[in-house]
Amino acid sequence: MFDKPERSLTVAGSIDEALAACRQGAAILAGGTWLMRDPRRGRPIADALVTLHKIPGFTDIQIGSDSISVGAAVTHEALGRSLIDIAGFEAIVAAAMGAANPAIRRVATVGGNLCTQDFAAADLLPALLAAGATVELQGSDGPLLLPIGAFLKDRKTFLGDAILSRVILDRTIAASAHARLPLRKAGDYPVAIVSMAVDINGRMSVAVGSVENVARRWNSLENAFAARPGGRPASAEEAAELAGDCNDFQGRDGTEADGWYRRQVMPALVRRSMGALFTAGVAA
């Protein structure tokens, strides 16, 4: 009978210490809400773990007049509470405060949501994409700022020798909305997510999550919106009609829903998000 290897936990106090642990094979432990389920997915939990919450700035939310900086170790609950009264971030608040359940939201982190590469149903991703967020990575060569869309397209490469340290939100969004369709039998993971935002110049952005393996902007729908008189649909119903062609999405099959169904519900979520923007008075 073989003895089980002892597990180690490094509480990093700096980026360099965390990177050194990762180079020795340690896995990053954020809130642990995904990593701790590895045994259920047939994977062993890593023998070495490193936490980041003691690194200066990683649990901070700094609200400025032009931008907001969110540390990677900020929890969903803390994020939602901090932004709840700030116009423009309604989608991020809804995503943070509506994901999973209260127990998960108290420990799940922004960085964990962004960096878990095999979790397609992360709520924050489409909301951050619609808001045009920027991510900061810290590596041996110093900080690197990337648009969130570019980061999500190649997370494995970017995180090869770097750690996500914070998310930066530009305060140019007038209003935003977030709609999700969960199925309780699947543990409240959303079948599909649609987030929308309108910036101070009236431009609209749309992002989709959980439909494919990686969240992304819905560029063709944004272009269809921009082509309408005034640069946006005249009603939530018109927005849903414009969203009826989802052929540029390849729905993923999963235990909670088939790919075709994920695509089928997208227009209804577009209607809900657009309806929320009309109610807020910024899409009229």
The stretch 5-23 carries a mean pLDDT of 90
Query: Cα-flanking dihedrals φ and ψ of residue 96, to 5°?
Result: -70, -40
pLDDT, tens digit, 9 for 90 and up, residues 176-190: 999 999 876 545 689
What SS3 class is residue 71?
strand
Indicate the pTM of the whole model.
Answer: 0.93
Residues 116, 122: contact at Cβ < 8 Å? yes
Q: 132-152 pLDDT, tens per residue? A: 999 999 998 899 999 999 999
- Structurally, what CATH architecture does the domain formed by 178-280 represent? 2-Layer Sandwich (3.30)
Q: Residue 7: count other Cβ atoms within 10 Å of its Cβ.
A: 10
| Domain boundary assignment for the chain | 8-170, 178-280
pLDDT tier, 2 (very low <50, low <70, confident <90, very high otherwise)? very low
CATH for 8-170? Answer: 3.30.465.10
Model pLDDT, residue 280: 83
DSSP state of 216: E
Token pair 């106090």: residue? 13
